[in-house]
DNA sequence: CTGGATCCATTAGGATACTG
DNA sequence: CAGTATCCTAATGGATCCAG
């Protein structure tokens, strides 16, 4: 399907695709924006705050954890609670998250004005 | 400033989702990065350069055009050729595209180092 | 050259119920 | 409370053929 003739040209595109591979889907950046900008959250809090159903949230959190963007901490409460926090590495995504928030704001303004 | 952020905190998630709604999928930001950073391309050029099959590319271009991010120009050649360019509005996505390219570069470096 | 039509495989996402 | 199991639908992506 894709040949290797254009290796140099494709570098920029593949950087974008690398990023998309990590933060793909409807929810990962939403989850990260909560944890990065607002701080630690429990599973149920995240679910309510974002509107993500438990099954999806569980999967997304696993994937984010695998990419070292969030950390999971089990608390010795009864019943057990779990805290999710963004890692230092997630801080490097602030530029991306911020850019998307700003663009979304501006875009909504534009759409409303039409 | 902080008050302002707090007030808008409820909407931050939907701003991200607005942006994701426009540039969703594996390909839209790749296509835009080509047209914005490297200039006008024909249909076949885009297909080869990005590795997107014609059917998918066609659909993505339609959606980008609907969102006024690219423009389509039919040329009076034989056979007909079509030129796709990024619009002025697409320039506003440069911040997002740039942030994702930089993060992808950095991320690849990190992954390799592990 | 452009790009639609058809067909198919894979994945993403959602609702609900349920267990430790 | 946290998360998994099950089931299901919709969306995404790709291959190939074909027509203007």
pLDDT, tens digit (0-9, with 9 covering 90-100), for B19-37: 999 999 999 999 999 999 9
Q: Is residue A41 within a helix (H) or strand (E), and if so which, with residue range?
A: strand A41-42
The total number of structural domains that make up chain B? 1
Within-domain flag for B50: yes
pLDDT of residue B9: 56
pLDDT, tens digit (0-9, with 9 covering 90-100), for A41-68: 999 999 999 999 999 999 999 999 999 9
Which bases of chain D are under 7 A from a protein CB atom?
1-6, 12-17, 20
Q: Which residues of A18-40 are buried (b: 16+ CB within 10 A; e: fewer)?
A: bbbebbbeebbbbbbbbbbeeee
pLDDT of residue B59: 96
Residue B87, Ramachandran bin (φ over 0: left; ψ between -120 and 50: alpha; else beta): beta
Q: Calculate the angstrom distance between C1' of D12 and CA of A114.
A: 30
Q: How many CB atoms neighbour CB B21 within 10 A? A: 13
CATH code, domain with B69:
1.10.10.10
Give the separation between CA A75 and CA A105, rounded to whole angstroms. Answer: 37
Within-domain flag for B70: yes
Q: Is residue A73 within a helix (H) or strand (E), and if so which, with residue range?
A: strand A70-75
pLDDT of residue A11: 78
Q: Shortest Cα distance from B93 to chain A (angstroms)?
A: 7
When CB atoms are compared, the residue of A95, A97, A108 closest to B18 is A108
Within-domain flag for A3: no
Within-domain flag for B19: no
Q: Is B7 on the interface with A (CB under 8 A)?
A: no
pLDDT of residue B2: 45
pLDDT, tens digit (0-9, with 9 covering 90-100), for B42-68: 999 999 999 999 999 999 999 999 999
Within-domain flag for B97: yes
Cβ–Cβ pairs < 8 A, chains A and B: 108
Report the length, in residues, of chain B: 114
Residues of chain A with pLDDT under 50: 1-7
Residue B6 banded pLDDT, cuts 50, 70, 90 = very low
Q: Shortest Cα distance from A110 to chain B (angstroms)?
A: 10
CB B77 within 8 A of CB B42: no
Within-domain flag for A84: yes
My answer on whether omega of the bond before A39 falls inside 30° of 0, hence cis, is no
Contact B12 A6 (CB under 8 A): no
Owning domain of residue A33: 26-112
Give the separation between CA B71 and CA B40, rounded to whole angstroms. Answer: 10
């Amino acid at each position: 399907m894709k040949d290797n003739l254009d290796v140099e040209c494709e570098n920029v595109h593949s950087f974008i695709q690398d990023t998309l591979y990590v933060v793909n889907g409807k929810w990962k950046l939403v989850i990260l924006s909560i944890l990065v900008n607002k701080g630690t959250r429990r599973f149920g809090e995240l679910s309510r705050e974002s509107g993500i159903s438990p099954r999806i949230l569980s999967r997304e959190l696993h994937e984010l954890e695998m990419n070292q963007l969030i950390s999971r901490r089990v608390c010795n409460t009864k019943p057990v609670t779990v805290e999710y926090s963004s890692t230092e590495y997630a801080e490097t995504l602030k530029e991306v998250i911020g850019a998307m928030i700003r663009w979304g704001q501006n875009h909504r303004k534009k759409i409303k004005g039409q």
